[in-house]
């Protein structure tokens, strides 16, 4: 089945630790995105990538890093510099032309131990 | 002013009734508009794209008013399974495909 797979579903981070969230898609989409959602709030864009080996900061990139070495994969690292990492993290992809809807993976819930 | 504003609700709707709600956006350069549905603790799922002429998909009708910069969603013959949060999503009008998400309107359909 075509889709977007995020793992793990739940993740716990210790103080001072970096953690990496996985996102893989087999939709052959060029563009991929990472969002953060806090309870009762809308999605906020962390990073996005329109093509392999290129990515841009979104609205709240501080404390996060990404890579895009393969078209199918766009992992997000939550670094120890992100002081409030507890949130629901959503990965999305779309065709890279404008006016295209984005399709989401089922998310990773990150909590602080 | 937020870029995309929605009434958070909840809209309490009797089963079988019609419910409608709007979303306003501030960026006049926005070119594409979408409604997503999000169930509790789940990912958003695309409900429908919104076209200038308005469009309908079964019991759901979306309208776009560019002059007043709002989009609307109407749900007819509400089902219990329509209970969810509906996210208004607007593209930013710049290069690329960045979207801005509203905070969502919660709909509760009751028997």
Output the pLDDT for position A40.
80
Tokens of A89: 């993290």
**Model pLDDT, residue A41:** 84
Q: Please give the average per-residue pLDDT across A72-95, as a whole number.
A: 94
Q: Which of B98, B102, B104, B106 to mutate to test the interface with A (most CBs of A within 10 A)?
A: B98
Residue A96, pLDDT > 80, answer no
Mean pLDDT of A52-59: 95
pLDDT at A71 over 90: yes
Q: What is the mean pLDDT of residues A48-52?
A: 94
Whole-angstrom Cα distance, residue B17 to residue B37? Answer: 19
% of chain A with per-residue pLDDT over 90: 81
Query: For the ranges A73-82, A88-97, B65-74, B95-104, which has the lowest average pLDDT?
Result: B95-104
Average pLDDT over residues A82-107: 91
Q: How far is A44 from chain B (nearest CA, A)?
A: 8
Q: Which of A79-83, A91-95, B84-88 has the lowest mean pLDDT?
A: A79-83
Q: What does the H/E/C string look like for chain B?
A: CCCEEECCCCEEEECCCCEEEEEEECCCCCCCEEEEEECCCCCEEEEEEECCCCEEECCEEEEEECCCCEEEEEECCCCHHHCEEEEEEEECCCCCCCEEECCCEEEEEEC
User: Which residue is closest to B86 within chain A, CA to CA?
Assistant: A42
A2 pLDDT band (50/70/90 cuts)?
low
| Interacting residues of B25 by C-beta distance below 8 A, sequence separation 6+ | B3, B4, B5, B33, B69, B70, B71, B88, B90, B100
Task: Indicate yes or no: CB of B103 within 8 angstroms of CB of A42.
Answer: yes
Could you list the pLDDT tens digit for every one of the 111 residues in chain B? 789 999 999 999 999 999 999 999 999 888 899 999 999 999 999 999 998 878 999 999 999 999 999 999 999 999 999 999 999 999 987 766 889 999 999 999 999
Optimal mutation site among B42, B88, B97, interface A, most CBs of chain A within 10 A:
B97
């Amino acid at each position: 089945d075509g889709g977007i797979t995020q793992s793990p579903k739940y993740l716990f981070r210790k103080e001072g630790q970096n953690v990496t969230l996985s996102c893989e898609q087999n939709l052959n989409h060029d563009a991929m995105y990472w969002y953060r959602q806090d309870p009762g709030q809308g999605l906020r864009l962390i990073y996005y990538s329109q093509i392999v080996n290129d990515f841009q900061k979104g609205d709240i990139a501080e404390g996060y890093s990404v890579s895009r070495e393969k078209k199918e994969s766009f992992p997000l690292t939550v670094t120890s510099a992100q002081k409030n990492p507890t949130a629901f993290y959503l990965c999305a992809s779309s065709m890279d032309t404008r006016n295209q809807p984005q399709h989401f993976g089922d998310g990773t819930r990150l909590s602080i131990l | 002013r937020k870029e995309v504003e929605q009434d958070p609700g909840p809209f309490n709707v009797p089963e079988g009734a019609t419910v409608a709600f709007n979303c306003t956006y501030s960026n006049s350069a926005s070119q594409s508009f979408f409604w997503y549905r999000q169930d509790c603790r789940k990912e958003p799922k695309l409900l429908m794209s919104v076209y200038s002429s308005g469009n309908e998909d079964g019991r759901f009708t979306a309208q776009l008013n560019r002059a007043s910069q709002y989009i609307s969603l109407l749900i007819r013959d509400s089902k219990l399974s329509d209970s969810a949060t509906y996210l208004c999503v607007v593209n930013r009008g710049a290069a690329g495909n960045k979207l801005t998400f509203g905070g969502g309107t919660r709909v509760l359909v009751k028997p």
